[in-house]
Amino acid sequence: MKTTYMATHEEALAARRWYLIDAQGRVLGRLACQIANILRGKNSPKFTPHQDTGDFVVVVNAAGIRLTGNKLSTKLYHRHSGYPGGVRTWSAGRELQEQPERMLREAVRGMLPKNRLGRQLATKLKVYRGPEHPHTAQTPTLAPSVGVQHA
């Protein structure tokens, strides 16, 4: 009789890898989907839905992200302070100029589970505006599923 493999907590923590992704010229949604899959561990045979079996992801050059179509002017981001009339709205173009790291981080968080596991997975994503990052000691390797850039 065959049984379904379920990773234990210790197995999930054992072999964490660090991946480096260059976001220069990459489309936001496609990149965010690939990053979310790596964070969840779906690129690994030991994937278990209720365990954190994913790897760490370091994204550099977040300022070089592309948006397709008219999204720079038509896509809107909203925030509410909790007070009456406290809604703030801005375009994706402004967000890309001012905080491209937050733009990518929020796109990835939207593709993760909406529970404690999703919040835990989001902490393994490190996003940087330029090409420098402080994670050289972890020796990140190029991510296998996102290594090819499409123009």
Whether residue 91 lies inside any domain: the answer is no
pLDDT band at 145 (very low <50, low <70, confident <90, very high): low
pLDDT at position 151, please? Answer: 38
Residue 65, both tokens: 């992200």
Which residues touch 42 (CB under 8 Å, ≥6 apart)?
54
> What CATH number does residue 25 fall under?
3.90.1180.10
Whether residue 62 lies inside any domain: the answer is yes
> What is the tens place of the pLDDT at every residue in 24-73?
999 999 999 999 999 999 988 889 999 999 999 999 999 999 999 999 99
* Statement: residue 148 has pLDDT above 50: no
Whether residue 47 lies inside any domain: the answer is yes
Mean pLDDT over the full length of the chain: 92
3-state secondary structure of 35: helix
**Total number of domains in the chain:** 1
* Residue 12 near residue 50, CB atoms below 8 Å: no
Whether residue 55 lies inside any domain: the answer is yes
pLDDT band at 9 (very low <50, low <70, confident <90, very high): confident
What number of residues does the chain have?
Answer: 151
Cα maximum dimension of the chain: 61
Whether residue 151 lies inside any domain: the answer is no
pLDDT at position 146, please? Answer: 64
CA distances from 117 to 1, 54, 106, 112, 141 (A): 31, 11, 16, 9, 25
Residue 144, both tokens: 């296998």
The DSSP call for residue 80 is E
Report the share of the chain in percent with pLDDT over 70: 95
Whether residue 106 lies inside any domain: the answer is yes
Domain that holds residue 45: 13-67+96-142
Residue 150, both tokens: 């499409």
pLDDT at position 14, please? Answer: 79
Whether residue 46 lies inside any domain: the answer is yes
Which comes out higher in pLDDT, residue 4 or 42?
Answer: 42
